[in-house]
Structure 1
Amino acid sequence: MTEDIWSFALDLYAQPDCEAACLALQEAGADVCLLLAGAWFGARGVACGEQRLDALAKASAGWQNEVVRPLRTLRQQWKARARNDAHLEELRETLKTLELRAERLQLERLAEAGRDWAEEDRDELDAWLQGCAGEAGKARRGALQQLRTAAASRAAP
């Protein structure tokens, strides 16, 4: 598979029920970029293991906590006030663009963290998604199943 991680993530996120599943998992504490990266590695047939999951978690955590989450939090805080303030809505849209750019860069960092992992013919999508979802996947099993279904249907020939 030669598709870059960003194109894969955009396509997967556009699948039916995927956005809702990702947002439900995010509310439960999951890192959506980490989940999308896990789906990408799974679709490429890369073997999943604790060391690889740990490497991705380490590559993701700082960026997610220090860059993506603060942008998202501020954008969400401004949502209600921006309905009645055109200038604040303009700034909120700028934040949304920055948040999306930060997520793209996070995904690229995750792809780079696994650049040496060989593509194989392995079906470990479930392992990648469960490993990347962590406790959020246990709390939101239905959402994780929706994401799994979307990723599996996208990967099907």
Structure 2
Amino acid sequence: MGVWNWALAAYARPGVPQACLALQDVHGQNTSYLLWAVWAELADPAQLAAGAQAAKAWERTALDRLREVRRALKSPLAPVSDAAREGLREDVKAAELRAERVLMETLAGLAGGQAGGAAALTALTAASLAWGKPAPDADLAALAAALG
């Protein structure tokens, strides 16, 4: 299964959205990057470092900006009608999801299509370390458990 379809199925599992958002919003992790590492079963520091570099560049260029606009559009902004604001917010949300898909497919290309064989928690721990400031083990374990 391709990385994007795998990620959509994984994100639909109970507990995964909450664990991903905690890692993203509280610990500064990139959840697309973390999910890619699990999908590719990676623990190789060189591959993860290359993935982190690519993800950080894409995050700065596209994801952070789109996320900021989407979140800013959450609150009413007179005199703009709520319907118009919400419609635009949905468009920005779709663009943000497309940017996440572009990132994950780019990362999948870096992995070379071969599974590395690492278990989910091993891949998450190694990826979080390669990201820079590692997330707490308990939060990574929560995501690994939710992913099954």
TM-score exceeds 0.5: yes
TM-score interval, smaller chain: 0.7 to 0.9
- Counterparts in 2 of 1:31-70, with a 5 A limit? 31-42=30-41, 46=42, 48-70=43-65
User: TM-score scaled to structure 2, two decimals?
Assistant: 0.87
| Cα distance, 1:136 vs structure 2 | 4.7
| Cα distance, 1:92 vs structure 2 | 0.6
| Cα distance, 1:13 vs structure 2 | 0.7
CA RMSD of aligned residues (A): 1.9
CA contact (8 A) 1:35 1:132 kept: yes
What's the secondary structure of 2:112's corresponding residue? coil
What's the secondary structure of 2:29's corresponding residue? coil
Structure 2 Cα separation of the partners of residues 35 and 14 of structure 1 = 16
CA contact (8 A) 2:121 2:141 kept: no
- Counterparts in 2 of 1:84-95, with a 5 A limit? 85-95=82-92
Query: 5+ unaligned residues in a row in structure 2: which ranges?
Result: none
Structure 2 Cα separation of the partners of residues 80 and 91 of structure 1 = 12
2:89 corresponds to 1:98: no
Q: Deviations over 1:12-61 (max 9, x none)?
A: 1111100000000001200011011011012xxx5x22101111112211
The residue number in structure 2 matching 1:6 is 4
Q: How many aligned positions are there?
A: 142
User: TM-score scaled to structure 1, two decimals?
Assistant: 0.82
Query: 5+ unaligned residues in a row in structure 1: which ranges?
Result: none
Structure 2 Cα separation of the partners of residues 13 and 69 of structure 1 = 20
Structure 2 Cα separation of the partners of residues 82 and 107 of structure 1 = 33
Paired AA for residue 130 in structure 1: T
